[in-house]
Amino acid sequence: MLNGKNILIGITGGIAAYKICELIRMFKRANANVRVVCTPNALNFVTKLTLQNLSQNEVGIEEFDLNEFKPEHISYADEADIMVIAPATANTIGKIANGICDNLLTSIACAFKKPVIAAPAMNCGMWENKFVQENIQKLKNAGYTILEPESGYLACGYEGKGRLCKLETIFDKTVEILNSKKNLAGKKFVITCGGTIEEIDSVRYISNYSSGKMGIALADAAYEQGAEVILVSTVNVERAYKVEMVKSANEMQIAVEKELNNADCIIMAAAVADYRAKNIADHKLKKTESNEFTLELVKNPDILKGLCEKRTSDKPVVVGFCAESEDLIKNAKEKILKKGCDYLIANDISRKDIGFSSDFNEVTILDKNGGIKPLQRAAKTEIAKEILKEIYG
């Protein structure tokens, strides 16, 4: 299962450190080569000799214990295919998230350019601390896979969320990442997300409830599968790939169309406002004595239709989204014909358990040849993978 794979396990100073002995055995049984690096405090919970016997390799602890011509943290980073940090304490998470390299493990993490899995384990109050959560988000933004702790009875006597996740969860995620196919390598994706903001005056605007989560999930999935990704976003998000921030429909149109001849696939997941104010006041509009206020609107550009009309061949593949509150399939069929796109992802926004702001979605994929494929309710991260699979097989 993991034959020839090099796994680097980072163990930090948490009570769950003893559990990692079994994780090493699981990786070894799957024919992986395992190396272990510990923070000094980790040895309060598990011995160096035990880890060496299980991994059948020297265990790294000291920063500058040189056995080769390269510094140890660079050597470890170069050799491993993946780094698994478990348990990941609040202390180590904070150091890595803020670029602090004061021991061998954090130095390796700083130099590591391949996939990293972090499995936090700590007191429930520490897990809920806002600074810890900010650091967790930083790691996610940097491309780390975070396997969140489970709820239950903790070693400190409290009960709550903080237990190290199951070892099988760590093992399975490691296998999934190491065996994932980079089937989108060499392809360039341009993906939009979020709701556009159309200014009325210096403080007011027209927008919608789009969170951008579906577009971000698509960008993440494409990037994980090896694609070059540009995310054109109205939502502030930090990622390892390029994110170009825009505000209005006009700005989004410019950003997307400049990539038209360079992209292999453009996915318009953003919720683009249909109208904008005809005239934008450069000051705050004052309330008057009248009970009525008239705002004159003009149509925004139809970015999706424009892309399909301007491309000169079957490249790029253009994918649109449609949000409907009734007659989903009927309206989607009409829209894909009108727009001329290759695929259309239809969302039912009348449901409260999917769509806007939710982490879940349920969509129907329509293609230009009349094909219809429903995807049952699932996390948007999983829906994104299924959409990409439908487009590129």
Q: What is the DSSP string of 110-172?
A: HH--S-EEEEE---HHHHH-HHHHHHHHHHHHTTPEE-PPEEEE-TTS-EEEEEPPPHHHHHH
- Side-chain half-sphere of 242: how many Cα atoms within 13 Å? 13
**32, two tokens:** 């992986």
Q: Is 165 a catalytic residue?
A: no
Compute the distance between CA of residue 96 and CA of residue 92 in angstroms, rounded to an integer: 6
Domain ranges of the chain: 6-178, 188-392
Furthest CA-CA distance within the chain: 83
**Per-10-residue mean pLDDT, the chain, length 393:** 92 96 96 95 95 94 59 73 97 96 93 93 94 94 90 82 94 90 90 97 94 95 93 92 96 97 96 96 91 94 96 92 90 96 91 79 95 92 93 85
CB-based contact 366:335 (threshold 8 Å)? no
Active-site option among 38, 124, 156, 193: 156
- Side-chain half-sphere of 122: how many Cα atoms within 13 Å? 21
Please give the pLDDT value at position 269.
97
Other CB atoms within a 10 A radius of the CB of residue 69 amount to 6
CB-based contact 108:77 (threshold 8 Å)? yes
Output the CA torsion sign for 12, 14, 18, 22: negative
Compute the distance between CA of residue 383 and CA of residue 389 in angstroms, rounded to an integer: 10
Please give the pLDDT value at position 354.
79
CATH architecture of the region 188-392: 3-Layer(aba) Sandwich (3.40)
The DSSP secondary structure of 205-255, one letter per residue, reads EE-----SHHHHHHHHHHHHTT-EEEEEESS----SSEEEE--SHHHHHHH
Q: Give the burial class of 319: count Cβ atoms within 10 A of its Cβ; 0-12 exposed, 13-18 middle, 19 or more buried.
A: buried
Please give the pLDDT value at position 69.
44
The whole model's pTM is what?
0.71
Compute the distance between CA of residue 121 and CA of residue 175 in angstroms, rounded to an integer: 21
Give the single-character DSSP code of 257. Answer: H
SS3 57: coil
Compute the distance between CA of residue 109 and CA of residue 115 in angstroms, rounded to an integer: 10
SS3 76: helix
Domain 188-392 in the same topology as domain 6-178: yes
CB-based contact 136:92 (threshold 8 Å)? no
Please give the pLDDT value at position 331.
94
CATH architecture of the region 6-178: 3-Layer(aba) Sandwich (3.40)
Other CB atoms within a 10 A radius of the CB of residue 180 amount to 12
H or E segment and range at residue 391: helix 380-392
SS3 352: coil
- Give the phi and the psi of residue 119 in degrees, each rounded to 5: -115, 95
